[in-house]
Structure 1
Amino acid sequence: MSIFDSIRKTGFRRGPKRILGGLAGGIAASIGWNVWIVRLVVLLSFLLPVLGWVAYAIAWALTPWQDGSIPVARWLGRR
């Protein structure tokens, strides 16, 4: 079992209501919050020096799309 299979088994996916990467939509769907509140929290995290951007980039690269594909896995040539 690979790390990507473990990530997929969590059930977390990028949200269908996405503007950019879909992370806020996925978080909102999984915790039951309004997607705009989560987007605001994500935007506020970008005010943290480097941390907000780096954390978002890592989460974006490792979070599966609705079809289960993970960007890092695709870059590495794995499904």
Structure 2
Amino acid sequence: MTRFFDAIRSTGFRRGPSRIVGGICAGMAEQWNLDITIVRIVVVLLLLLPVLGVWAYLVAWLLLPWQDGSIPLERIFSGSAGTA
């Protein structure tokens, strides 16, 4: 499992420091050099899609690393789920 999480970290995606819910949009905007407002609007529109949008955001929330490199799903598996 460690190799899986290390591979995720190596993609360069991180949750953004300016976050509203989980920093997912801020991280995507920073990675793709886009305006954060545009990314947030696109994500809100995707969340209106039945099931797909919510599941995609949930998966991103579980797998995208925080600024310090910790991944929520990895913390859940290691038993140190605490506050992220």
TM-score in terms of structure 2 length: 0.89
Give the whole-Å Cα distance in 1 for the aligned partners of 2:27 and 2:79: 23
One-letter code of the match for 1:48? L
Match of 1:50 in 2: 51
**SS of the counterpart of 2:78?**
coil
TM-score in terms of structure 1 length: 0.94
Give the whole-Å Cα distance in 2 for the aligned partners of 1:60 and 1:70: 9
Q: Is the contact between residue 29 and residue 35 of structure 2 (CA under 8 Å) also seen in structure 1?
A: yes
For these two proteins, the number of residue pairs brought into alignment is: 79
Give the whole-Å Cα distance in 2 for the aligned partners of 1:3 and 1:29: 23
Identity %: 54
Match of 1:67 in 2: 68
Shift of 1:11: 1.2
Match of 2:29 in 1: 28
Which segments of 5 or more consecutive residues in structure 1 lack a partner in the other structure? none
- Runs of 4+ aligned structure 1 residues displaced above 4 Å come to none
Cα RMSD between the aligned structures? 1.4
Give the whole-Å Cα distance in 2 for the aligned partners of 1:67 and 1:78: 18
Give the whole-Å Cα distance in 1 for the aligned partners of 2:34 and 2:78: 35
Shift of 1:65: 0.2
